Amino acid sequence: MKYISTRGQAPKINFSDTLITGLASDGGLYLPENYPQLSTESLEKLRDLSYPDLAFAIMKLFIDENDIPHNDLKVIINKTYTKEKFSYTRECQDSKDITPLTKVDNHLYLLSLSNGPTLAFKDIAMQFLGNIFEYLLHKKNKALNILGATSGDTGSAAEYAMIGKKGVNVFMLSPRGKMSPFQTAQMYSLHDNNIFNISIDGFFDDCQDIVKGVSNDLEFKDKNQIGAVNSINWGRIIAQVVYYFKGYFSSTRSSDELIDVTVPSGNFGNICAGHISRMMGLPIRKLIVATNENDVLDEFFKTGAYKPRASDDTYHTSSPSMDISKASNFERFVFDLIDRDPEKLRSLWKKIDQGESFDLSNTGYFGKVSNYGFTSSSSSHQNRLHFIKLLHEKYNLIIDTHTADGFKAAFDHFDQSEEIPMVVLETALPTKFEETVMEAIKLKPPRPDGLSNIEQLPQRSFEIENDINQVKQFIESHS
């Protein structure tokens, strides 16, 4: 299994090198040369596996034995997916699984992904990444300065996964004043010597542009051993693929049934994992992209035009982790959509990198979007309040604002008479977005033990201007 860049001008590499490299040297994102294919019979053999065993069965398809011995991979996975690390936190369930499935209504389900240490779906991939990073760096006798950008959940998930990891420093950029108080406290209350929270005056897209700019400076990247934990890192994507399979098996009885999946999406990483799963043969009929007021992705799937917005045109919303107007992982999907033509991809992303847009509506490519199962919806603050209230009053569930965006999109496309399961992917626990949840249901969502006063803990961050050179200087002086 070799990996290629979407832009076609970087050498093929193995799995472990994609983890350490992050962004390809030509500015593209890594994908496997071919997706592993699973038949109905092969799927059925995976159906009853535990989460760690399922993760091993899926991930080893992407990882050569001579790159990471599969016995070592199994140890890393078993170390990652434990009940102790993913402790049960939802009062409305009694399952002890890593990703328990809740039946909401006939053929309507919620896949709970927020039982990890930072109460968000990012933990599922990031805990794996932390353990495999430590393994590879020890094996290669290397150190790594991880540079990331967060709109709220990636940052804390990465930092909690990397605390105490040997040979790893984390430099996490976040948009100043744009995260919820809980999200901010989760990150800024960490004072460990290898964790550096950098507050940028701007939006997530500004932070992400700096990360890509640093990664594209190959001399600086090599000299300072820069790595990535954002979903541009392929390791994040394959770890997320696993819970699509788990959700499928939990919501069906046999492996010839179809399901629909709704995914709240900002940077397109989570739903990109769904795309990969579907390409592998998982019987997903629809992949429904749920956006908030920052509806660039919804606009593309409705019109064929991809028009990323400038920071000044990006809304600050009550589902802030999706306040993104330039989705990094969208490049991976478009690469498949345009028949993996790297020259065509480069021409499209040259426009994006220059702050422009592209339109596929009058091409044969856009007509193939439905072949990949994609459709979409957008949401507003009032929609979020409505669905948080509806889920609480009708189903006794309290959901966060992003998951509410997901339910809005799900109901836009859900037809119970079809008897096809609709699985909505949870984003985070509602306590992370307490203010809006209380506005909707007049109740304070429950918090796990030990987090009742997290906002009152001492916080530390480093305020830096929206300037790539200042970020470079900070990395050099603190690593």
* Residue 324 and residue 204 in contact, taking contact as beta carbons nearer than 8 Å: yes
pLDDT of residue 91: 44
Tokens read off for 95 = 């399952």
* DSSP string over 382-418: HHHHHHHHHHHHHH-----HHHHHHHHHHHHH--GGG
pLDDT of residue 89: 56
Cα distance between residue 326 and residue 297, in whole Å = 9
SS3 of residue 367 by DSSP: helix
pLDDT of residue 29: 97
* Annotated catalytic residue within 2, 60, 103, 122: 122
pLDDT of residue 94: 45
Amino acid, res. 319:
S
pLDDT of residue 92: 37
pLDDT of residue 88: 53
Strands 226-227 and 195-200: unpaired
SS3 of residue 181 by DSSP: helix
Burial (Cβ within 10 Å: 0-12, 13-18, ≥19) of residue 26:
middle
pLDDT of residue 96: 62
Q: What backbone torsions phi and psi does residue 149 show, to the nearest 5 degrees? A: -130, 145
* DSSP string over 220-283: HHHHTTEE--STTSHHHHHHHHHHHHHHHHHH-SSTT--EEEEEE-SSSHHHHHHHHHHHHT--
pLDDT, one tens digit per residue, over 21-78 is 999 999 999 999 999 999 999 999 999 999 999 999 999 999 999 999 999 999 999 9
* Residue 31 and residue 338 in contact, taking contact as beta carbons nearer than 8 Å: no
pLDDT of residue 93: 43
Domain ranges across the chain: 101-119+235-441
SS3 of residue 126 by DSSP: helix
Tokens read off for 71 = 């016995």
SS3 of residue 164 by DSSP: coil
pLDDT of residue 229: 83
Architecture of domain 101-119+235-441: 3-Layer(aba) Sandwich (3.40)
pTM attached to this predicted model: 0.93
Looking at every residue in the chain, the average pLDDT score rounds to 94
Cβ neighbours of 451 (radius 10 Å): 18
* Spatial CB neighbours of 219, under 8 Å, sequence gap ≥ 6: none
Active site (annotated) includes residue 472: no
**Would you give the DSSP letter of residue 444?**
P
Regions of the chain with pLDDT less than 50: 91-94
Handedness of CA 174, 428, 316, 369 (dihedral sign): positive
